[in-house]
Structure 1
Amino acid sequence: MTLASTTSGHLTQRQLESLLWSAANALRGPVDPGDFKAYVFPVMFFKWISDTWDHEHAQAVEAFGEDLTEEIEADYHVFTVPEGCHWSDVIETSQQTGIALGKALQRIQAANPDSLAGVFGDVQWGNQDRLPQSALMNLLNTFHAVRLDPDSVNGDMLGAAYEYLLREFAEASGKKAGEFFTPRHVVHLLVRILDPQPGESIGDPACGSGGMLVEASNTVREHGGDPRTLRLYGQEVNLTTSAIAKMNLYLHGLQDFRIVRGDTFSDPKLLDGDALQAFDIGLANPPFSLQNWGADAWAHDPFGRAFCGVPPAKNGDFAWIQHLLSTMKPGSGRVGVVMPHGVLFRGGKEGAIRRCLLEQDKDKLEAVIGLPPNLFYSTSIPVCLLIFRDQKPAERVGKVLFIDASARFQAGKNQNTLSEEDVQVINAAYKRAEDLDGESEGLHLRLVDLGEITDNEYDLNIGRYIQTEATAEVDVEAALASYYEAREALRATETVLDEKLKAAGFNA
């Protein structure tokens, strides 16, 4: 793409996406594709801040001319750009450009502590072993060929282009993509089901790149509401990913949000005084079956999140669920979480927690929705959505809605996807809660009394309540889970036996 094609008026979406992907490809060779995001997004955001600052400066000059003062101009700027820290200052540095870039980004963060703290991540820009001068200049020059101010980039184009890059980086990252990216069709479905309304608070305790918070904003806008009235909150343990989330929200035109970095289990930072902050909507796609998540400390959790028991040390799935339920606002609160099917049937401590969550005095679980296999980058197993509501509709009290949507997908080469029609059909079935002649548009669903679930010893396996070929295939995961648990037990027994044999003088 030439400079002329990008500076004469507005870019098209395709042009912008092509340019951004060219920026990523400028790093190919010295930088692993899985690490592109750590370099490309901060540079893109820096260019956007600088170009937007220029745009705001021009507006101030046009309005006040020679009467313009620093105090007046400050009111025009969303972000402060310290002297010597503009894009032009860095691009004109011909030697040790990485050091100049790193200093500029640090000073911009320091000048905007409330809004930009940590937003540029922790890349060592001056380390030429990781990022040679030639690769950095290729990256900078690619962005230098385009302006990202409001006069050059239409409306939501930047946000959409950012999402485009996230998808491309997820493709390049393979299974590691699950650490920061949930396929947007899954996010779209979950948010549609939770139905965010203007003025509500929304929290994601494992927010990754912030896609669920962005989707909530988009959904409110699509339904005629003002997304600026939403209060958006997220926590993310990974520094680079939390920075990506902040940039994502800003580039989607959102400013009233709070993204914090830290371990949600050991150091929850979304607080209201000494208590967990409560949200109208809590939603998450947390890491599945997280090991070493901090079970020991949860027995005495100061926030009372172990209200149904402490999950196994080697599997934090129910810790995420209990955390989300602990942040559900009384009355209006609802929660949606993506989980592996194992949470529906695993026994032991998890079975006891599941029983506690289903008992009549809690009765918060509204729906279990089984999704198709191979939707995610990080796993090919089928997953489910668990929907909780603090106050269920009267007709759903004492019941759980089961939906088998495993046949609703579009087959892909590497992954399956949900089309917009798939999302609409599943969402409509959730709201209707009635099957049509046993099957509706490729779906099976059933509203089940808690009494029947109790008779099944609180097993929520969809195949127990809806019998189809698809659910029979999903039941394979139950068999695999039992197999893996038995294999772990066998290994532990073998280890003990080996130790006893060695102690008795027998050598392998």
Structure 2
Amino acid sequence: MTIVTHDIVAKLWTLCNLLKDDGVTYHQYVTELTYLLFLKMAKETGTEDQIPDGYRWDDLEAKSAARRLEIYKVTLIHLENHGSPLVRQIFGNASSFIKKAATLSALVTEIDKLDWYSARQEGLGDLYEGLLQKNANEKKSGAGQYFTPRPLIDAMVAVMRPTIDDIIQDPAAGTGGFLIAAAHWLRAHGDPDGWTEAQQRKYRRNTFYGMEHVQDVHRFALMNLMLHGLDSAPRGAGIRYGDTLSPEGQALPRATLILTNPPFGTKKGGGLPTRTDLSFPTSNKQFCFLQHCYLGLKPGGRAALVLPDNVLFEGNVGRSIRADLMDKCDLHTVLRLPTGIFYAQGVKTNVLFFTRGETQKDNTRETWVYDLRANMPQFGKRTQLTREHFADFEAAFGEDSLGGPQILSRREDTGETGRFRRFTREEIAARGDSLDIAWLKDDSADTGEDLPEPAVLAVAAMDELEAAIEELRGILAELGEGQEEEVVE
């Protein structure tokens, strides 16, 4: 983010102070700002033809301060059903949280004062993404769960090396960060000017797919993609509003590249996914998303997923899913991520890199584990995660995004004192198919800074208890017990 963009984002964020007395939360503020910025940016980019006459930025600004809030609320309702498909999606089920006419008038005036010429020069997409990141970093907003740190996204995209031939999917799209980063990579490492007309058409209409089930976050994603020059509401492609763990997720096209950070925890109410194609249905969302990803890849397709530690070691259905993954795919690399890089400081995460095999069995022969967790800084507000922290991993990973035999043969096993080690499929099986493999003594001291919020600790404890209960149910099922309990539920 440039200094100019940073300054504009800071000014937009300070406008939140105008809404505090109106009882508007941080998340509601970003939603409200998205509506207003869409109208303003459509004017700045010359794309107002997608908005009906009478409901544009100048129309809103021309109203008297006393009537502006009334007209604004009518505008939100009208745009839900009129305008381009993108307009109707962004304003779908829209409503304003603003109660005072003076508050809206102050927002409109301050937004109009911003240096929009510089904003256009720097890139409106970077400006909006900066605003989303600001919201994600604000603990009170609760938005961090929808925002993956950009350095991690960029590192995952760099080793996966998207191409113009790829069909790229994020089944838990959030605000669209993975798809936007993949688009940047394609344009920076390809030759867009040399693409054929068919390739240009494919890039716009048949390359980027995603799904997001929270409507406000879906709004943010559509806005984000649009401002980064991606067609976010074309025929078929783009980020769809829906539940990946329902039949809507089954309708996503099979991909050649999946990049995602699925939601952690269990499905609401402890229910099972409603889609019918998962071999191992479970209330654990990350296990369901993992199945979606390896089943949703075309043969030879590749994936990189952020997943919490419990996915690596949980027994019963967890072990069955890992075994199925290693049968159907070549799980060639696991990256153990540092702690403290997500909104919930205590969450320990990993990235799984795998390639879908041409057959259904015995595709994983060896798995390389890179430990970027032990003896790393305590990341938080004082120590920011940067792309440089991933440089050694990217170099060790190599230039083959598929993790093929040739590139694996050139990797160096650094032994018990290094960060990168090789484990055969037989060694993993001897561990009970557990991938929670650590060998380095972690001497990094926990200074107590950036400790998790009590609510985060409580949620983590609940998730662990729910996982333990599910494992016990699996044991009872194997013993032929517990049927009565299931009937009662």
Q: Same fold (TM over 0.5)?
A: yes
Tell me the equivalent position of 1:65: none
Q: Distance in 2 between matches of 1:420 and 1:143?
A: 32
Tell me the equivalent position of 2:478: none
* Residue correspondence of structure 1 range 345-424 to structure 2 within 5 A: 345-359=313-327, 362-391=328-357, 398-407=365-374, 411-414=378-381, 417-424=384-391
Higher mean displacement: 22-31 or 205-214: 22-31
**Where does structure 2 lack aligned partners over 5 or more consecutive residues?**
399-406, 447-456, 474-489
Q: Structure 1's 197 and 390: CA in aligned 2 closer, same or farther, altered over 3 A?
A: same
* Residue correspondence of structure 1 range 177-326 to structure 2 within 5 A: 177-226=143-192, 229=203, 231-255=207-231, 257-268=237-248, 271=251, 276-292=252-268, 296=272, 301-302=275-276, 304=277, 306-307=278-279, 309-311=280-282, 313=283, 315-326=284-295
Structure 1 residue 482: Cα displacement: 11
| Aligned residue identity for 2:13 | W
Higher mean displacement: 404-413 or 197-206: 404-413
- Residue from 31, 40, 56 that aligns with 1:86: 56
| Aligned residue identity for 1:455 | A
CA deviations over 1:153-190 (Å, ceiling 9, x no partner): 34452111112111111122447223321121221222
Tell me the equivalent position of 2:5: 13
Higher mean displacement: 102-111 or 138-147: 102-111
CA deviations over 1:89-120 (Å, ceiling 9, x no partner): 11122234233123334444544343333213
Q: The residue matched to 1:329 in structure 2 has which SS?
A: strand
Contact 1:283 1:324 in 2 (8 A): no
| Aligned residue identity for 1:244 | F
Structure 1 residue 439: Cα displacement: 7.6
Q: Distance in 1 between matches of 2:303 and 2:213?
A: 21
Q: The residue matched to 1:197 in structure 2 has which SS?
A: coil
Q: Distance in 2 between matches of 1:147 and 1:22?
A: 15
Higher mean displacement: 235-244 or 482-491: 482-491
Q: The residue matched to 2:311 in structure 1 has which SS?
A: helix
| Aligned residue identity for 1:189 | A
Q: Structure 1's 96 and 165: CA in aligned 2 closer, same or farther, altered over 3 A?
A: same
Q: Distance in 1 between matches of 2:471 and 2:210?
A: 40
CA deviations over 1:128-161 (Å, ceiling 9, x no partner): xx4321221111111122464xx65344521111
Tell me the equivalent position of 2:431: 456
Q: Distance in 2 between matches of 1:185 and 1:225?
A: 24
Q: The residue matched to 1:364 in structure 2 has which SS?
A: strand
Tell me the equivalent position of 1:4: none
Q: Distance in 2 between matches of 1:418 and 1:363?
A: 30
Q: Distance in 2 between matches of 1:376 and 1:415?
A: 14
Q: Structure 1's 156 and 107: CA in aligned 2 closer, same or farther, altered over 3 A?
A: farther
CA deviations over 1:451-494 (Å, ceiling 9, x no partner): 1111222111122xxx11139999xx9x98997469859999xx
Q: Structure 1's 27 and 145: CA in aligned 2 closer, same or farther, altered over 3 A?
A: same
Q: Distance in 2 between matches of 1:193 and 1:293?
A: 37
Does residue 329 (structure 1) correspond to residue 305 (structure 2)? The answer is: no
Q: The residue matched to 2:415 in structure 1 has which SS?
A: coil
Q: Structure 1's 117 and 21: CA in aligned 2 closer, same or farther, altered over 3 A?
A: same
Q: Distance in 2 between matches of 1:321 and 1:491?
A: 22
Tell me the equivalent position of 1:505: none
Contact 2:38 2:223 in 1 (8 A): yes
Q: The residue matched to 1:26 in structure 2 has which SS?
A: helix
Using the aligned pairs only, state the percent identity. Answer: 26
Contact 1:344 1:459 in 2 (8 A): yes
Q: The residue matched to 1:234 in structure 2 has which SS?
A: strand
Q: Distance in 2 between matches of 1:267 and 1:174?
A: 33
Q: Structure 1's 20 and 335: CA in aligned 2 closer, same or farther, altered over 3 A?
A: same
Tell me the equivalent position of 1:101: 72
Does residue 115 (structure 1) correspond to residue 86 (structure 2)? The answer is: yes
| Aligned residue identity for 1:200 | D
Contact 1:334 1:388 in 2 (8 A): yes
Contact 1:364 1:391 in 2 (8 A): yes
Q: Structure 1's 210 and 401: CA in aligned 2 closer, same or farther, altered over 3 A?
A: same
Contact 1:208 1:241 in 2 (8 A): yes
**Where does structure 1 lack aligned partners over 5 or more consecutive residues?**
1-10, 54-76, 493-508
| Aligned residue identity for 1:83 | D
Structure 1 residue 385: Cα displacement: 0.4
Tell me the equivalent position of 1:425: 392
Q: The residue matched to 1:290 in structure 2 has which SS?
A: coil
| Aligned residue identity for 1:207 | A
Q: Distance in 2 between matches of 1:377 and 1:325?
A: 27
Structure 1 residue 448: Cα displacement: 1.6
Q: Distance in 2 between matches of 1:483 and 1:243?
A: 32
| Aligned residue identity for 1:45 | F
Tell me the equivalent position of 1:46: 39
Higher mean displacement: 12-21 or 398-407: 12-21
| Aligned residue identity for 1:92 | A
Q: Distance in 2 between matches of 1:471 and 1:488?
A: 33
Q: Distance in 2 between matches of 1:325 and 1:336?
A: 10
Q: Structure 1's 485 and 159: CA in aligned 2 closer, same or farther, altered over 3 A?
A: closer
Question: How many residues of Structure 1 are paired with residues of Structure 2 in the alignment?
Answer: 429
| Aligned residue identity for 1:171 | N
Q: The residue matched to 1:182 in structure 2 has which SS?
A: coil
Tell me the equivalent position of 1:468: 440
Contact 1:285 1:339 in 2 (8 A): yes
Structure 1 residue 29: Cα displacement: 3.0
Does residue 447 (structure 1) correspond to residue 422 (structure 2)? The answer is: yes
Q: Distance in 2 between matches of 1:270 and 1:158?
A: 33
Structure 1 residue 203: Cα displacement: 1.0
**Greater C-alpha Rg:** 1
Q: Structure 1's 491 and 87: CA in aligned 2 closer, same or farther, altered over 3 A?
A: same
CA deviations over 1:373-404 (Å, ceiling 9, x no partner): 01101342220001121249xxx951112111
